[in-house]
Structure 1
């Protein structure tokens, strides 16, 4: 094991090591020593490059949003904005299911409340300071703008549509990760897509059109390759 914390890729190695630990062992294992061991660096590297574990967790959350942005961008753009939005929300759900602890961390939360070291320091949602979050969210806003431009809904500012869909998707994902839909055959279709359909219809779209557009996505959905 090397302990050369001056390596140019040391910060990236620490972030990637944290993501692996989250996926395999959960948040309780995210400590300076365990992360450094996983990255093949000395514990001091966490403090040298990030200042401490809370700041490292912020960097990991930002990496999560960068990965979500990549997944969003891999969703094919079609001539149907409703179809594209549905695919983006399903892609977000897939990313969360692939690494639920990372998704938790991206929003400064944890189902088990184990991210207490970072509480009060996460900037992803609360004050909008994370550039990674803003860049990712901008992709969703742009997709909502296409919804308005194509006259699928009433003339509404995309900035008001995006948080409605984002809230519906995030609420569904958090509940699903906590096991609340375990008894349902297809919660993504029955809850997530159905809820977002209702939002878009409420914004002025015709229900028949919305359900036709999203039905095709559900039937053919294949997750874009994750970053």
Structure 2
């Protein structure tokens, strides 16, 4: 048997390839052999890194949320919690547009090739909601949002932004009401609906747009991964 050579591709690369195949061609395309061929490696890479196909599919979900959490972690806490909140919304949308294949897998928009998410898997995704709950609490404390359940507020914001992003990825929005126009109006409307004034909400939304590039857009949240030691 010839010596195995090291493969510089990482677990994240394998995950991206698998998610792309799943989204573009469906679950029938998702096999260790096909993924290995796309990655230029042997099928052993899948088993070495993930323990098999079920582990790889689970890792797609985990990595999708990990990348989103990495964007969230770069949003600064400022004395304008509503601007912080709208920047989380921008980070959520940016993650979806940057990683559309993973986004589809994270929320069940793509068939998981016979693999079902467990309650533990979903809890991994729900963990990211805690960041929004904390920010919602700060908005209430600052008197910007009306007093209420911060977890309910976080759920309202998540479902609203998720709905817009899903329509955007599906290319259902029609000019002149394109995604950018609708998104900016949505951010202001959501903040006002939660108790902020139009003037304050508009100012905060504008502020978050100015912060977006430095705090979110320029971030490269690649998850550390080991090089595959078993490729041929």
Residue 56 and residue 166 in structure 1: after superposition, are their counterparts in 2 closer, same or farther (change >3 A)? same
Look up the SS of the partner of 1:117 in the other structure: coil
Q: For the residues of structure 1 that align with 2:200 and 2:3, how far apart are their CA atoms?
A: 58
Indicate if the aligned counterparts of 2:191 and 2:201 stay in contact, CA closer than 8 A: yes
Q: Which region of structure 1 is more displaced relative to structure 2, 155-164 or 50-59?
A: 50-59
Q: Deviation of residue 224 (structure 1)?
A: 3.9
Look up the SS of the partner of 1:221 in the other structure: helix
Unaligned runs of 5+ in 1: none
Give the structure 2 partner of residue 225 of structure 1: 219
Give the structure 2 partner of residue 212 of structure 1: 203
Divergent runs of 4+, >4 A: 1-4, 23-27, 38-41, 47-52
Q: For the residues of structure 2 that align with 1:24 and 1:55, how far apart are their CA atoms?
A: 16
Write the deviation string for residues 173-212 of structure 1: whole angstroms up to 9, x where unpaired. Answer: 1100011125247523x32232233232222221211112
Indicate if the aligned counterparts of 1:148 and 1:154 stay in contact, CA closer than 8 A: yes
Question: Number of matched residues?
Answer: 214
Structure-to-structure mapping, 1:53-92, within 5 angstroms: 53-92=53-92
Unaligned runs of 5+ in 2: 222-232
Task: Please state if 1:203 is matched with 2:194.
Answer: yes
| Structure index of larger Rg | 2
Q: For the residues of structure 1 that align with 2:11 and 2:210, how far apart are their CA atoms?
A: 39
Q: For the residues of structure 2 that align with 1:145 and 1:132, how far apart are their CA atoms?
A: 22
Q: Deviation of residue 63 (structure 1)?
A: 0.8
Cα RMSD after superposing both structures: 3.1
Normalising by structure 2, report the TM-score.
0.77
Q: Deviation of residue 91 (structure 1)?
A: 1.4
